[in-house]
Amino acid sequence: MEAHYQNLNKKLVKLQQNHLQHTKQTERRSQHVFCPSTVNLTNFKFTEGEQELLDMGMQYSLQQPLKAGWTNLIVETEQAIKLLDTRMQDAYRILAAKKIKQLHYTHNNNDITHKRQAHLAKNIHRKINQNNAMITQADKGKTTVTIYKQDYHNKVRTLVSYDRAS
């Protein structure tokens, strides 16, 4: 019975550590800039939020809200508490409720981040489509390039014709 509760507690701690790691990685990304993360070769401008999202890179995936698992977590916690001595159950219920509320609050903040990032991504997509442009990765490094499709095709043709001439 104690082992089941310890297993649930480990899950809670792991979720909290993952959240802390993610926020630390985001902070590190914003501190070190060795080369530009994005290069805009178009005439249209991105807002500050859109630019931040583009600076995350091509491999960044939007944060997804945590929908499933809450019911399962609560039920398993209650099952583990019921295995304890009846005199200790209420104390552990209070501790578990505090931990779950803390996790829920943390994940609600992630839901807000997800909604904001999804909105920014839609705006970027709209701007790209309206201006007949594209987002691609630079030849070297992890730089993201925003370029008009026609300019991109011209550069590729030039590169291919240069290779044939060699």
Q: Cα(5)–Cα(92) distance, rounded to whole angstroms?
A: 10
pLDDT in tens, 32-79: 556 678 889 999 999 999 999 898 888 887 766 556 667 788 888 999
State the chain's mean pLDDT as an integer. 82
pTM of the predicted protein model: 0.54
The whole-number average pLDDT for the span 88-108 is: 86
Does 110 score more than 70 pLDDT? no
For strands 38-40 and 144-148, give the pairing. parallel
Q: What is the pLDDT of residues 115-136, one digit of tens each?
A: 888 899 999 999 999 999 999 9
